[in-house]
Amino acid sequence: MSVPATSLCPHTAVFVLLTATDLFVDSDFGFGGYMSLQISMKNYTSIYSLKPLYLKSFYRSIGTAPYVEDAVFRGVADSPQLPGGHGLVELSKVVFDYQALKINHHARLSGQQTGGLCSSCFWIHDSGGQFATTLKIMDETKDHETSAIVEWDDIGLTLFLNNGHPAFTFTTVETSDGSNCETRPETSGDTWNACPQSWKIRPLLIYSADRGAITVKDNTPGHHSGTLTVPYSPLPLPHGSQLSDYCPAGKQTPNGYRMLVRDGAQLTITVSGNATDEDWKDVFVVDYSQPTWPTAKKSSITMTVTGSGASADGLAGGPYTISSDHSRSWVGPFGGFISASGAWYHAKEAAGQAETWKSLPTFLDAAQYETNRAAMIRSKTTWKSA
């Protein structure tokens, strides 16, 4: 069962599947598609099907239902293939009678923008079935270049990979209750790090032009952080979006920087290099965690940006507090449609410190974007008189 692609425009509809059963389906897709971004399934049962779920990119808006709720996966030939993109991919009250589960399906597949920065939050809770606490979770991102987390309530741990660029020490740290992080096998040969959920480890993404490697330091006592060097997106893809057929791509890009941070992190991010693409130096869209976490799982960080490259483009500033439910206005799974988007821009604007940034000649605001969108629609539409 294939679902229609959801537009990558700033205003999109939500696709909902209510009560469906797939029996012995040998289709390569099962239920899903490539770019059905806003989608949820409730009362979905898949028995002896090849791939119950198949989706490449996902984004979840505030007020929408879990990705999967009240479902049964039994006797699967391959495995459910959960999407990349950037959202809270929630699996609630799912009966797992099959052990394998894949995340970031085909994320950053060669030459494709599917998955973006491939760093969603996957939240599994209230599971049932014989594999509720022993799922074998596989990441499909190319070279495991992902800052995704798996928040697995049924085992009380948060899972992440070393290539996620954790800005904290976890291998020798003992928590307040005496417990340590542990490791779990990742089925394609890597290793999941599994740390206490009380740390509230979350992705921090910066959609950006290539400014060279940046450095990140968490100054919070107890986080035992050294200075972390974060490279620009490996194998960068073209800026823009291949998927915006109904509106301009604007300042969207599947490229940038990604890292993992703990709740309460006091971050200093140093940007020493200058943007290599003059037309994209106005893009510095910060997206931290997810806005759809329940209250008990919300978090916040404090962030300062410094360095000659940041100062040159008006990006330096702080410290500013950024919460997990910061505004996502004009932001999608491939960053911002406009330059004036993301947590860092809103923080600098609120502090009256964004004027140099906004003066960049390529800076795109909402008014200009709407002008561009209207022109695009006129170019693709033929009106006939009655």
Q: Which residues contact 311 (CB under 8 A, 6 or more apart)?
A: none
The radius of gyration computed from the CA coordinates of the chain, to the nearest angstrom, equals 21
Write down how long the chain is.
386
What digits encode the pLDDT tens for the residues 224-254? 778 999 999 877 778 876 556 668 889 999 8
Q: Write down the number of H helices and E strands in the chain.
A: 4, 25
- Buried b or exposed e, range 101-131, using 16+ CB within 10 angstroms: bbbbbbbbbeebbbbbbbbbbbbbeebebeb
How many CB atoms sit inside 10 A of residue 355's CB?
10
Give me the pLDDT at residue 7, please. 45
How many CB atoms sit inside 10 A of residue 344's CB?
25
Q: Which residues contact 169 (CB under 8 A, 6 or more apart)?
A: 223, 224, 225, 226
Tokens of 103: 């995340």
* Spatial distance between the Cα atoms of 37 and 222, rounded to a whole number of angstroms: 38
89-93, 129-133, 153-157, 178-182: range with lowest mean pLDDT = 178-182
Give me the pLDDT at residue 127, please. 97
How many CB atoms sit inside 10 A of residue 374's CB?
11
* Spatial distance between the Cα atoms of 237 and 259, rounded to a whole number of angstroms: 19
Percent of the chain with pLDDT over 70: 87
46 pLDDT above the threshold of 60: yes
Q: Helices (DSSP H) in the chain: which residue ranges?
A: 308-312, 343-350, 355-358, 366-380
- Interval 66-72 mean pLDDT: 92
At 368, is the secondary structure helix, strand, or coil? helix
